[in-house]
Each structure stands twice: as C-alpha cells, then as structure tokens.
A and B are shown apart, each in its own frame.
Chain A
Amino acid sequence: MLSKAAVESFTKLHPRLMIKNPVMFTVEIGTALMGVVTILSAFTPGAFLGEPGYNLVITLLLLLTALFGNFAEAIAEARGKAQADSLRKTRQDTPARLLKDKVETTVPSSQLRPGDQFVCTAGDIIPADGEIVEGLASIDESAITGESAPVIREAETDHSSVIGGTRVLSDRIVVLVSAQAGESFLDKMIALVEGANRQKTPNEIALTILLASFTLVFLIVTVTLKPFADFLNAPLSIAAMVSLFVCLIPTTIGALLSAIGIAGMDRALKANIIATSGKAVETAGDIDTLLLDKTGTITIGNRKATEFFPVETMDKLAFANLAALSSLADATPEGKSIVELSRQLYGTEFSTPKDAKFIKFSAETRMSGIDLTSGQKIRKGAWDAIRKWAHLSGPETALTQTQVETIAAKGGTPLAVALDHKVIGVVQLEDIIKPGIRERFTRLRKMGVKTVMVTGDNPLTAKFIAEQAGVDDFIAEAKPEDKMNYIKAEQEQGKLVAMMGDGTNDAPALAQADVGVAMNSGTQAAKEAANMVDLDSDPTKLLEVVEIGKQLLITRGNITTFSIANDVAKYFAIVPALFAATIPGLKVLDVMNLSSPESAILSAVIFNALIIPTLIPLALKGSRYRPVGASSLLSRNLLVYGLGGVLLPFAGIKLIDIVVSLFL
C-alpha cells in the first residue's frame, strides 16, 4: 500500500490535479521555478541566481514538500480503495430469475430494470437492490456490512429492502427491483469509498479559500521584498525568496487537508456508516438536537411482561393462564413475553387450543384476543379500549383503574385483560433501559447536544423512562407528523437536528432532518430520504456519527492553527539569515543561534517538508475529541496546537541546523 501510494504521489504532481489545492500548487510552481534557476545558475552564477548546488538542494526539498502532500492524500485514498476492491468482487453479474406474468426466465442481472420482479430462493445471490413484495427470508449481508449473523427481511414490514450482492440463506422471496444497474447501493458505496466523486465540503472550500488568501498575502510579501532589499542594497537570492515563501504559506494544512477529509469519511465507513456526502459527516458534528426512538435505542428491544395483577376475585395463576392463552396467537414481542412470563412463574406449558378463533390486533379496536370453543372470549389491550369492551364489569374495576395508573407512573405499560366483557386484571409491561445509555447521554450533553426521546407511550410512562435514561426531552404518543413538527420547530430556532429511522413513515422526517440516518434494514423510502445509512442498523450509532463529525472538524482546525503558528519560528530563522550581511542588527532575532544563513534557510525548508509526513498519522486518525465544554476544548487545543505550533519548530529547526551544518 505504501509503495503504491509513493508512486501515486508522483502521478498526482500533474498540474491539472495540483491546481485543486492552491497552496500546494504554488509549491509546485516554486519547485519548477527553482529548477529553472538551478540550470541558469550553472551558467551564470551571481548574487540573485545563487550557487547551482545550493539551488539544486532547495529544488529537491521543495519537490519533496509537494510529494509529501500528495503522499498523504494517496495513502488516505488507498485505504478506501482496498475496501472498494473487495466490494467490487461482490458486484459480479449474477443470473437473475425474472418473474413476468408469473413466468420465470433467467436473465443476467444487468438487464434488470426498476419495476421488474425477480425471485430468489435459498443459496441465491440477490441480483439487484429491491423491495420484497412477497415472502420472507434470512439473508447474509456480510459482504456489505461485515456482520456475519444473518438478518431477516420480510415483505410489508419496515425491514423489506434487500441489497444486490447479498445472499439468501433460507426461504423464497419475490423482489421488486428499485435501482437501475450501475446505480445500486453497492455501486454508490464503491464510488464513495474510492472517493471517485468526492466533492469538497462547504467547510473544506471555505478553508481552502482562507489558505489560498494567506498564500496570496505571503506571495505579495515575498515579491515586494525584492525591491525593498534592492533599495537597501541588500542582495537577495531567488532561492532565499522562494524558500521564505514556501515556509510561510500554510503548506502543512494545505498538504493534509484532503487527507483529513478522506480519513473522516473512512472513519464513518469503519463504523459501518455510509454517508452520501462528506458534508453529511461534517454536519453531524454540528448537531444540536438528536431525536432517538425509545425502542431499541434507549431501551432494549421491546417491552416485556414483568408482573400479573388480577382483580381481587381472581387467583393469580388462573389470571396468568388466561392472559397467556389470549396471547398465544399474538406474534408481537409483548404477546410472546406474556406467555414467557407465565411459563417462568408457574411452569405452565401452553399448546394452541384447537378450533379457537384468534382475534388479531387492529388499530380500530386496539385489542387482540381469542374466542375459545367453550364460548369464552378473552381480550387484552390498552386500558381504555378494554374498559369500553368490558361493559359487564363490576365495582372492582375501580381498583384496576388505580393499578393501571400505578404501573404507568412507574414507567411501565399496563395491558388490561378481560374475560367475557368483564375486566379480570392487568399485565405489567416494562421497558428495560440499556445499560450504559445514561453515560452516553451525559457525554452528549457535555458536547452540547440535546437528546429527545420519541415514543408511542403515554406521557406518564414516557416521562418516567426519559428521567431514567437521562434524556433532555421526550415526545410521547408520537405520530410520524409529531417528529416532523418537532424537527421543524427546532430548525426554526437555528438548530441542527439529527434523527434515525427505518420505516417508510419516517421518510419525510428523515428528509427534513439535517442529518437523517436510515437503518440498513429499513425500507427503500427511508434509505433514500436519509443522508446516511447505518449498515449495522444500530440506533445508538448516531452518537458515534456526531463524534466522527466533530473529530473531522477539530483535526482540520488544529492542523490549520499548528500550520499558522509554525510561521513564527520560521520568521526567526529566515529573516535574520536573509539580511545577515546587510542588516547586522537583525542578528538579535536569531534566537536559535543557527550556524549560518544558508543552513538557517535549509533547516527551515527541511522542517517545513518533514512536518507533513510526521503529521500524516494525526490527519488519518484524527484529533481526539473529548466531550468537555467548548471553551476548555478550545483552550486545550490552542495550548497544544497553537503554543505547541509556535515552540516545536524552534526545537526542530535548531536540531536540523545542527545536522545540516555538518555537511555545509
């Protein structure tokens, strides 16, 4: 990888590529200029043109500076390229079983068009991106996510999209093609990691302009120095002027700028986040408000039944049995957990009663249950729905009402059960807050990010969990438009909002949010609306995304500060050296006591070149981000990169001077 990057640093010397980086482009021009001067000075040496040998050394050092810059970029790109190569292997042309008018024909995957349907069974490689329209399957997505555990994808759920290149492990699915060949998820991903269509982010452009203007200022400074020196009869060699210029312009940040950007995207990729643009990663660092779904993010999975509360007239075991019976056909995690709980408590094993009629949950009745052949009807559901159904209940209902309120106040969800239109008790469902999540929210608060929990729970329950988990705000009984409204309200206050979602009904909010992260398992609509896709479908990933974004900006800022701070020492090295003969008074500035004017200039140029590869690891790894307040973060970074940037070159240039003076 290193040798490949080394070769590329030469090919990147092409002016057409170099001009994208104005700072390093001027270094290249300086190198070319010095090359010409070296040749000319071999024929006509003089005060202005200087010694050919010395000129050659300066020329080579400047070339080295430009090469180091290219090397940094090449090595940052190389890491993405390796990943792209392995991805490309996945994208082979696979046979697809096209389904047209219920007839299967086999065609190459490249001939699939959006709107086509194809069939996949166990062992097949999915030929194109799409949405399952029929069936469910377990799929191995390790080729893309690196995660070896298979995932379940099912039609008509929020987990219905499949990615071309992944493998079906079991069952049969019919998939509706959603992406043109060449525009698939995999294609986008390859382009992204290769940096083929890497666009400079707005912040990068702004910084480039700033650096270019610094360069222009120093160009004016060095060029005008010539007539000043002539006026004072101080001979000034062109090598000294070019060296001064290259040392003063911000080459360090100029050389590392694009490497920092690429490395930032790379870090996001390592966290299994696919960002549609570098801008999205940067924006993530700015997030003020984070909308998090309660389920899966703050609490583990789903609510679980933890306790049975029957009415006084009923025995607890009997109640548990009835509750479990009503849940047998209920595939929701809540329903399963009720059966599980009564098995745990009483060891009862249940088998599905024959000929019983299962009542599915519907949004209209908000109840589910079972009608047994004995004529018994059991229903369970939200308290208000059950109360309406249980019109035959006696006065004991009042007690149940109290129980319901107690459960809700403690953050639990009460699930009422009724038998033949009579309330028989409540099942307590509880959320289990993820261990360590509180600390993460504290960390986010220190970063200045406000966390908002979004839940369908009632406000009482939501408040309890919000306090338990340590989030700053919550939206209870949330409907999709509530999220949207909350995001808009925050944005109107000038805040940046991030959210994560997977369902199609999340899509508008994902699009509205400044950073929308869709889960890979989510629907196609959600993925298209988002500007990032989390391959792990891990809701806590947002926290990492924020840190990656901040880290990217901090690294950029720190190296810029360092680069500018470096100039101080270079002034002390070069300025006295330039005018050593004519203005002896300037000797006072030579605090480093460098051995000779030539050595002083050489040492500064060498330091300037060497600092680039020294900082490549920092550029690739990124400055560490600590969630402390803004002002302490600023003072710490100013101390390290500002003051450090002033002091380090004094030591560095002095050391190099000692070595250089041995050869002069």
Chain B
Amino acid sequence: MNTEFNGVLLIFLASVLLAWPLGRYIAKVFSGQRVWTDFMNPFENRLLRLAGVNPEQSMDWKGNMKALLVLNLGFFLVAYLFLALQGLHPFWNPNGFGNWEPTLAFNTAVSFTTNTNLQHYSGETGASYFTQLMVFCWLQFVSAATGIAALALLFQGLKNKSAANLGNFWALFLKSNTRILLPLSIAVAVFLVFRGAPADFRGLQEITTLEGETQKVAGGPVAPMVAIKQLGTNGGGFFGPNSTHPFENPDYLTNAAETFSILLIPIALVFAFGFYLNRRKLAILIFGVMTLLFLSFNAVSITQEMKGNPAMEKMGLAEQPNLEGKEMRFGPVASAFWGVATTSTSNGSVNSMHDSHTPLSGGVYLVDMFINAVYGGVGVGFINFFVYLIIAVFIAGLMIGRTPEFMGKKIEAREVKIATLVVILHPFLILVGTAIAAFAATENPDLAAAWLKNPSFHGFRKWRMNSRRPRPTTVPVSKAWATTPPSGTS
C-alpha cells in the first residue's frame, strides 16, 4: 500500500517540479523572449504570412475575441464536414468506416472544438485513422492552444491594466501549439510508444488467443492522440474506454506519465503568471490554494476507495479496497488520484470507471468539476480562478476598509458584473440542463429508461458529468473491445 501512495506522491511532485521551469519557459514564449524553440520562427512566420496575419499587430480585446471566435468557428465547420463525410476519405481508413450520422457529427464537432470531448462514438468502431488524427487529434491541439492563448491575453491585460494592446491572438495561438503543446506531446508520445502504445496505420489485426480462437484487435496511431489528450486537458480517447484500454495506457509507468501530463501544463500556467507579471509570490499563493483543495480532494477520494464499498460489506463481502471498475495494473490509489486530477483540470480522461467509484469519491469529482479552477483546464482554469479571485478580493477588500483593488485596478460595478456573469453561467447551465433532463425523465419514464443507465440518485451524476466530460459508461462499449478484455478486473 505504501508503494501505491509513494507512487502518486512522486507523480504529483514530478508535475510540480517540472511545472516550475515550464512556467518560466511559457512566460518567455508569451513575452517573445529568446527560447530554445526559436528555430521554429521562420516556419511560424511563413504560416502567419500565408494567413495574412501580421504577428506584430497588437489588438484590443474585441479584435482578439473576434479572432478567437472566427478561428474556432472555422475549426468546427471543417470538423463537422470531415465527420459527416468520413466515407469519402481516400486513405488512412483501413477499416472502411462510413459517413457519420449528422447529429452525432454535430455533437462531436462541437464537443471537440470546445475542449469538452464528450464521446458518443467509439474510436475503434467509428473513426478512421484520418479522422482520429486530422479531426480529433488536431482539435485537441487547437482547442487547448485557444485556452492558452486566451490566458496569454489575460496576462498582458493585467500587465497593461487595460484591455487595449493585448497582443496578437493569431500569433499567441500558433506559438501555444508550436512552442508548448507540440514539443511536450512529441516527448510524451515517444515515451508511450516505447512502453508499448501502438502508433501505426494498420487496420484490425487478426490474432489467435491462448484458447486458440481468433479475434480482431484494433490499433492505429494511438500514442500521439493519448499524449495531447492528456497534456491539453482534453480527454477524448482514441478508444472508447479511454486510458483504461491497455493500448492507450499499457502499464504503471505510462499511467504515471499520463497522470503527470494531466497536471503539468495547468500547474505550469499558474507559475507562468508569476513569471510573466513578476508576481511570483502571488503565483505561489494561488498555487498553494489550488493545491490545498487538490490534496484535500485526493485525501477524500483515496481514503474512500481504500475503504471499499460499504454496500458490499453489508452483504458480507468484505471487499477491501473498492476494486470495481479499476485496472489492477494501476490499483485504487493511482485510480483515485487520476480521478481527482482529471476532474479538477477538466480533462475527462479516465483510467478506471468513475461510475464505480464510491459515492463520496464521485461527489468529490462533481465538486471538482463544478469549481473548474483547481489548476483547471489549460488556460481557462486560471481564468476561472481569476474570476473567483476578483469576487473574493472584492469582499476581503471591504473588510479591511478599502474600496477593493486587485493588481492595481479598482474592482467596481463593471468588474463585478463581468465576474458574476461568469459565476452565474456555470450553475445556470449545469442545473438547468439537469433539471430539464430530470423533468423529461419524470414525465416519460419509459423514454428515460432507454438512455438513463443509472436509476435514482446515481442518475443525476450522469447528467452533470455529461454536461462536462465523457465517462466510459456513456460510451457504447465496442465490439472489438468486448472481445479483448483488459488485463485485470473491470
């Protein structure tokens, strides 16, 4: 058991230790200082010139927002068309998958463009390798880079103390890809390949099992997709079962690397804030608050998973710890740690069935997703935390007898209005969405039975989770998967 604890402790410490220099590096990238990746300059400049963008042109918030929206709208449309017309791809489709049903294509395109990565399909039975790489993998890069670039704009805004001259979204977006996400993803993907994750373009492989039967096993360019899925707080897996699948996450070391990849950039961006604005103390304080929450959530989840399922105990089955839905090669502690990490960074990848975690563990994950700022998604997590911070500073400022001020800017009606709008949006979307689902289910129980896999209280979790992130149980378990059970219990 100690080994298990030490394992997650090491993963956490490694993430924090490496996040510090990465944060410094990101701050340099944002401010255009010299870094070792400058050899990309000619390539980036040519791309920007090709797109007709002058990277030196600094825009205000409106110009940047327009750029962000237009770019992502474009990504969405292209993704939708690709999915809806998948059957037309001439290559990288060894299994010959056809066009997607339009609503599924729409849902998936929206979801991947917004970094949500809700999957109502299974990669191995529905997506060609072309789709996996050029749509999903691509969107996982650009949606993460959008978040990081938005954060860079916020940093500059705080530096300027105004929303004019924030920088150039196009250039920041490109650099987030080429300087931050791409190098890290290559490193992680190479590591995964060395540990056994496939990266090929072959179709279904027919193998003979030990029992002498033949079955077809899905492979493909898995490793690169897993790398960006973890690093960019995306979570959209190559296979339906996500990182529980042995090809996505072959052993304990890959699991450690993938957990580390979930936390790395979100933590590094907190430090980048300190380096960029030269407010290291404040950055460490913010990191401290986030870490306090993160570790408390872990404490609850890990103890709960270790204590096991009380219902099983009542039945006389003294099963300790709770192993339902867990991969034996990772164990309950690493699974609980992943659970907290993935929900607190709004990543959404899984290495165990969250549906089978104990109730309080599940509750912690819901809280984590609701706060959405304990490190949080790349870029956007810090922005969320910043919004909470404005409200906290507003009240605390009053309590010490000053009209509230933060980073040298007064917090007045306008600032509070914007901050509270963001805060209201969250419960509004989640609660109203869940309420509509609950209403529909109450009115039409037969219909609900068809799409609601869990009855009663457990059912709520599904809606709330759905509105945020994929869970394996929402993914139809593929046929190919059914014939190749994972090592260990599931």
Contact = CB atoms under 8 A, between A and B. Distances in A.
Contacts of B394: 206-207, 210
Interface in A201-236: 202-203, 205-207, 209-210, 213, 216-217, 220-221, 223-224, 226-228, 230-232
A556 B398 contact: yes
Given A220-B427, A286-B402, A550-B401, A202 B435 contact: no
Contacts of B434: 224, 228
A216 B425 CA distance: 10
A244 to B, nearest CB: 14
B102 interface: no
Contact of B439 (A220, A227, A630, A638): A227
B412 A203 contact: yes
A206 B427 contact: no
Given A220-B432, A230-B438, A634-B400, A213 B413 contact: no
A220 B420 CA distance: 14
A641 B423 CA distance: 24
Nearest to B421: A213
Interface in B250-279: none
Most central of B391, B400, B420 by chain A CB within 10 Å:
B400
Nearest to A282: B403
28 contacts: A203-B404, A203-B412, A205-B413, A206-B394, A207-B398, A207-B416, A210-B395, A220-B431, A224-B431, A227-B436, A230-B439, A231-B441, A285-B401, A286-B402, A494-B408, A549-B401, A551-B401, A553-B402, A554-B400, A556-B398, A557-B400, A557-B401, A558-B398, A558-B399, A561-B399, A564-B395, A634-B400, A638-B399
A633 B391 CA distance: 19
Contacts of A553: 397-398, 401-403
B424 interface: yes
Given A228-B434, A230-B439, A561-B399, A213 B456 contact: no
B438 A228 contact: yes
B412 A202 contact: yes
B400 A630 contact: yes
B401 A561 contact: no
Given A228-B434, A634-B400, 6 more contacts: A202-B412, A217-B423, A227-B439, A232-B456, A554-B399, A630-B402
A460 to B, nearest CB: 37
B422 to A, nearest CB: 10
Contacts of B420: 209-210, 213
A625 interface: yes
A599 interface: no
Would you call the interface of chain B mostly helix, strand, loop, or mixed? helix
B39 interface: no
Contacts of B436: 227
Nearest to B448: A231
Nearest to B441: A231
B438 A231 contact: yes
A200 B296 CA distance: 42
B386 interface: no
Instruction: Name the 7 nearest CB pairs between A and B, nearest first.
Output: A557-B398, A550-B401, A213-B420, A557-B399, A224-B435, A231-B438, A227-B439
B309 to A, nearest CB: 16
Contacts of B400: 554, 557, 630, 633-634, 637
A230 B441 CA distance: 10
A203 B403 contact: yes
B135 to A, nearest CB: 35
A228 B399 contact: no
Nearest to A210: B416
Interface residues of B, number: 38
A638 B398 CA distance: 12
Nearest to A628: B400
Contacts of B399: 554, 557-558, 561, 633-634, 637-638, 641
Given A217-B423, A221-B427, A227-B442, A557 B435 contact: no
A286 B403 CA distance: 6
B401 A633 contact: yes
B413 A202 contact: yes
A455 interface: no
B174 to A, nearest CB: 35
A472 B413 CA distance: 34
B416 A550 contact: no
Of A205, A221, A228, A285, most B-chain CB atoms within 10 Å: A228
A334 to B, nearest CB: 41
Contacts of B439: 227, 230-231
B428 interface: yes
B177 to A, nearest CB: 36
A403 interface: no
B465 to A, nearest CB: 15
Interface in B423-457: 423-424, 427-428, 431-432, 434-436, 438-439, 441-442, 456-457
A550 B413 CA distance: 19
Given A220-B432, A232-B456, A625 B398 contact: no
A210 B391 contact: yes
A560 interface: yes
Interface in B228-258: none
A164 to B, nearest CB: 35
Nearest to A631: B400
A70 interface: no
Given A213-B423, A231-B438, A550 B412 contact: no
B370 to A, nearest CB: 12
A413 interface: no
B396 interface: yes
B294 interface: no
Interface in A168-222: 202-203, 205-207, 209-210, 213, 216-217, 220-221
Interface string B97-125: 00000000000000000000000000000
B227 to A, nearest CB: 38
A619 to B, nearest CB: 14
